[in-house]
Structures are given as C-alpha cells and as structure tokens.
Amino acid sequence: MSDLPTPEEMLKVDHRPPSAGWMDSPVEIRKGIACYAGNPKSLEAVGFPNPRTWSCFDEDWQLPENWQEILHEGFKERLERFRSFRVFMDICVRCGACADKCHYFIGTGDPKNMPVLRAELLRSVYRNDFSKIGKILGKLNGARPMTIDVLKEWWSYLFQCSECRRCSVFCPYGIDTAEITIMGRELLNLLGLNIDWIITPVANCFRTGNHLGIQPHAYKDMLDFFADEIEDITGVRLEPQINKKGADILFVTPSGDVFADPGTYTCMGYMMLFHFLKENYGFDITWSTYASEGGNFGFFTSHEMMKRLNAKMYAEAKRLGVKWILGGECGHMWRVIHQYMDTMNGPADFLEEPVSPITGTKFENAKSTKMVHITEFTSDLIKHGKLDLDPSRNDHLKVTFHDSCNTSRGMGIFEEPRYVIQNVCNHFYEMPRNTIRESTFCCGSGSGLNAGENMELRMAGGLPRANAVKYVHEKHGVNMLACICAIDRAVLPDLMDYWVPGVDVTGIHEMVANALNLPGQNERDTDLRGEPLPGIEGQTEEEADEG
C-alpha cells in the first residue's frame, strides 16, 4: 500500500508557492478574478492616454514604447505632489498588523492580497527608482526594477483592492493603503490600463451626467414611474420637482437608486419622504437630471477626473440657485465630498451653511462642503418628532446594518443610520463588533470592482461580510441587510444569494417610507416591493385603531 502514490501526489494538490520569494513568483491573471479592459471610446471621451482595444489575458498589452519612462516620471511627479504618498512609501516597517485585515486576503487566501504586500508592489519599484540604498543594494533592500511582469502584477492586485481602508485602521503608523492603491491606479491610467466597469461609467457620467448614460427625459420617466407605483400602494399622488430653479435644496443621489433594484425602492423612499415634508412643512427640494449621479468613479482613475465629476454637482447647485445640497445613500460620493471636495473644488461659498428648514438644526459638519447626508437629515427629523411613523409596517423584517466602508471609515457616520433604523423598525440586530462600524468588512465589490466577470473575486472578497450576516441570520433570523450605499445595494444581493440565501438587501429610506404615514393615504396592503404587509389579513381592526 505504501508504494502507491498518495492522493496528494496523484492530484498534485500541494501547490504551495515555490520557496522563492514573492518577487520571483510571477502573477497569473485569471478569469473570474480579473475585470475586462476599458473600452477605448470611453478613454477617448475623457482624454485618457493610450486608448486601444486590448485584453489583460493577452501577452501583449499594447503599451507605449516608452512606458517605463512614463511610469517613472508619473511616480516622481506624484511623490513630489503628495507628501502622504512619499511618507507611505518610506515608513512601513512591515510589522504585519494589516496583513490579515483585508477581506480579499481572508477570502482568497492569496498572500499578495495582504495590504502590506500589495503596497510592496509599489514600494519595491520606489526603492529601485528613488532610494539610494535601494539602488545600491537592489533586491537585498526589497528593490526591483519595473518590468512588464511587475506591471502586470500591479494591474492584477491594484484591481483586487476595493480601497476600503480597513487595513489602515490597524496600521500603527497610520498608513492608508487605499491611498497607495489610488496612486497605483492613477499611474496605470497613464498607460491606458483601466477596467471597463470604471472607465465607461466615468465617460458616461462626464458626458451625460450619470454612470449609465441615462438622458434627462429617461431620468424623469423613471421618477414618474415611481410616482405611479407609490400611488398604487398608498393612494397618494406625488409630483417630484425636477430641475427647479430657486428651490431651497438640491438632492443628489447615485443613479443606481433610480435604475437598479433594490435601490429603486430606496428612491421611492426619498420621494415619499420629500412629499411628506412638502405637505406638512412646505419643504422645497429639487432633483436634477444633470447632477443625476452622486457616485464618482473618477475617484478610481485619477484625482483630476474625480475633481471634474465632483464639480458637476456643484455647478448644478449654482445654476439652480439652491441654498445647499442634500445627498442620498451613496458610498464614494461621500468619501469624495468629505475628504477631497473642499481641497479640489471648495469652498462652495456660493451656497449657504446648511440648516434644516424644518427643525432649524445647523449642520456644522457641512459648513464648508454645504452638503448634508440624508441619514443625518432624517435622524434629525425623527429626533425632533417631525415624522409620523408606524414601524409595525416593517415588522416582517429582521434587520441588520452593514456599515459601508466609505461612510463609516471615510466620514465617520455610525450612529445616524442606526438611529433611523431603530425608529422605523422593531427588529434590529447588530453583527459582531469586529465586523461593523470602523472595522466593517467591505462588500467585496467596491472601487469599481462590481463587474460581472470577476464574480469569484467578488464572492471571495465578500466572504467576511457574508459570514457575519450568516451569523445573525442563524442566531436571530435576520432576513434584511440594510445599507447606505448604492454599490452595496447592487452587489450584496448576489453576495447573499451565494453565501446566505434568505437575506435580502435594502436601503434605509425604503424602510423609512414603509413606516411613514403620508397625509391622505389609503390603508396600505403592501410594502414598497408589493409584498403583503405583516399580518394584513385579520388585523384590519387593529390597523384601523392605529390609524
């Protein structure tokens, strides 16, 4: 028996990497992990270099002849321009605190997805090109020249990072590895190396105003369609204001809320809230078919592109002459507003410091950007007793809350969404502490990685998040995962389908609207999704009493 080959030998399952170091293990670009290359027309639309049809699975990536020089110069320019970048290149002591904090590492088991190693991809070239010791000692000092294999490794792993910044929470030096990915992607863009799921939304947003390239009339059609749906459910006809000059407030939300389920129900939620406020308090807010995108995929290409897209929202606010901007449930829109807007396009001094016209609350945190997050706005309304809520209409939901990376780590919103949820739902359960708030796990599809072709990567990257949802699903019967990000709403249903069937995904304002009593409404039989309300049969008397 001992002469027979073992199953491991027969199957060659022992595929541990060779004993050679990570630098000598060439990257394998795999289907299921990699995203398709950017459409050249989209690159042309925004004036990005080297537009051509190419594939990451090809040997030849059709780079410009002097690509190494372009990268070197681009690297040098950014080291001079961004002090943080140079500091992050120099100060890592490779302590390993970040190593096991990345959801892509935890899910894929690929050590090159350890944040420290992903950053080493850039640092190794930095040492070679910009450090004297690195030039002299070479590999001994962890330095290596930029070659085509290194470039492919950069491309592969910089698009296996969702810039979620969980690793940065644990770094004793405060290194923000997401910033390193951001710089790395910016450098790749100098060579025309991008993915289509990022660059085409960027081009659409730049030209038409939103990621999908929806034109103004179609945007209005969708809001009208939602008004019809709301009328069917509540008996109340509402008329959203669109492109209204002189309105008090401009509302900007990701286009995913308008065009992609289940975000569409969140969109209906915003509309019902605004109608309620208009009827009761004369609230004056307008939607815009031009600032029809809160999301900013430019953030995933370059600082300049991010600035161009962000500026459109403010230009529209100026054109309409509003006082301030209310922002919907979005992820990276808020990171851009909170961390970059003021430096890039601020101060927005043509707007007023936001004050709630209903409660008088001054949103001092938005003093400079003039933009208020809708959960801040709604929680303030609830706190002042301004909403008429019947949380029992959400009694069929057992809810948990996923802190979106951008709003939690990117801007510190922790309490407001929870406060709103707990006032519109009766059943709320937190996921384990080390998977929420500042330690939240990414959905696995952020920073433009929410494509279809990289589904294995998305499922692996979303494992830690799904694993925590599974825990509360099994322990408390949680059946609804709430979030305040349009990418979350787009990708978490797939993630739940694979890891935790039986859990659906919602935005918070969908639940707000389900609980909200509109003036003059009919008795409701269903929620916004058309699902029968809990115990609707045989409970009409109680409901009548409540009403």
Q: Which of 467, 479, 526, 539 binds other proteins (CB under 8 A)?
A: 467
Using rule CB under 8 A, residue 93 touches other proteins: no
Quick one: which of 325, 313, 259 has its CA closest to 286?
Answer: 325
Amino acid at 99: A
Q: Which of 453, 526, 536, 539 binds other proteins (CB under 8 A)?
A: 453
The CA distance from 547 to 537, in Å, is: 16
Q: Which of 34, 150, 460, 472 binds other proteins (CB under 8 A)?
A: 460
The CA distance from 342 to 329, in Å, is: 20
Using rule CB under 8 A, residue 456 touches other proteins: yes
What are the Cα distances from residue 122, in Å, to 75, 116, 446, 511? 9, 10, 21, 44
Q: What is the DSSP string of 358-421?
A: TT--B-GGGTTT-EEEHHHHHHHHHHTT-S-B-GGGGTT--EEE---HHHHTTT---HHHHHHH
Number of residues that bind other proteins (CB under 8 A): 51
The CA distance from 181 to 188, in Å, is: 10
Using rule CB under 8 A, residue 8 touches other proteins: yes
Please identify, among the stretches 56-64, 122-130, 490-498, 508-516, the one whose residues bind other proteins according to the rule CB under 8 A: 490-498
Q: Which is nearer to other proteins, 90 or 456 (CB)?
A: 456
Q: In the beta sheet, which residues pair with residue 371? A: 325
Taken in order 208, 211, 213, 215, the sign of the CA dihedral is negative
Report the interhelical angle of 67-81 vs 177-189 (nearest 10°): 140
Residue 365 neighbours by CB distance under 10 Å: 15
Q: Which is nearer to other proteins, 19 or 343 (CB)?
A: 19
Q: Which is nearer to other proteins, 90 or 196 (CB)?
A: 196
Using rule CB under 8 A, residue 500 touches other proteins: no
Using rule CB under 8 A, residue 111 touches other proteins: yes
Using rule CB under 8 A, residue 97 touches other proteins: no
Using rule CB under 8 A, residue 464 touches other proteins: yes
Using rule CB under 8 A, residue 214 touches other proteins: yes
User: Closest approach of Cβ 334 to other proteins, in Å?
Assistant: 24
CB of 43 closer than 8 Å to CB of 192: yes
Tokens 């209005």 sit at which residue? 220
Q: Which of 17, 412, 477, 532 binds other proteins (CB under 8 A)?
A: 17
The CA distance from 177 to 311, in Å, is: 26
Q: Which of 36, 54, 130, 498 binds other proteins (CB under 8 A)?
A: 498
Strand segments (E) across 253-384: 285-287, 324-327, 371-373
The CA distance from 93 to 116, in Å, is: 10
Using rule CB under 8 A, residue 497 touches other proteins: yes
Using rule CB under 8 A, residue 463 touches other proteins: yes
Q: Which is nearer to other proteins, 246 or 452 (CB)?
A: 452
Using rule CB under 8 A, residue 119 touches other proteins: no
Taken in order 429, 435, 437, 441, the sign of the CA dihedral is negative
Q: Which residues touch 216 (CB under 8 Å, ≥6 apart)?
A: 209, 243, 289, 290, 292
Quick one: which of 238, 268, 234, 239 has its CA closest to 253?
Answer: 268
Quick one: which of 60, 40, 58 has its CA closest to 49?
Answer: 40
Using rule CB under 8 A, residue 432 touches other proteins: yes
CA 113 to chain centre: 20
Residue 502 neighbours by CB distance under 10 Å: 12
Q: Which is nearer to other proteins, 81 or 94 (CB)?
A: 94
Helices then strands, counting H and E runs in the chain, come out as 25, 7
Using rule CB under 8 A, residue 499 touches other proteins: yes
Using rule CB under 8 A, residue 92 touches other proteins: no
User: Closest approach of Cβ 302 to other proteins, in Å?
Assistant: 26
Q: Which is nearer to other proteins, 503 or 518 (CB)?
A: 503
Q: Which is nearer to other proteins, 101 or 370 (CB)?
A: 101
Q: Which is nearer to other proteins, 28 or 77 (CB)?
A: 28
User: Closest approach of Cβ 144 to other proteins, in Å?
Assistant: 19
Please identify, among the stretches 13-21, 83-91, 176-184, 234-242, the one whose residues bind other proteins according to the rule CB under 8 A: 13-21
Please identify, among the stretches 127-135, 292-300, 430-438, 537-545, the one whose residues bind other proteins according to the rule CB under 8 A: 430-438
The CA distance from 119 to 97, in Å, is: 14
Token representation of residue 124: 């190794």
Using rule CB under 8 A, residue 435 touches other proteins: yes
Using rule CB under 8 A, residue 259 touches other proteins: yes
Using rule CB under 8 A, residue 36 touches other proteins: no
Q: Which residues contact other proteins by CB under 8 A?
A: 1, 6-8, 11-17, 28, 30, 32-33, 99-100, 105-111, 114, 214, 218, 259-262, 432, 434-435, 452-453, 455-457, 459-460, 463-464, 467-468, 471, 493-494, 497-499
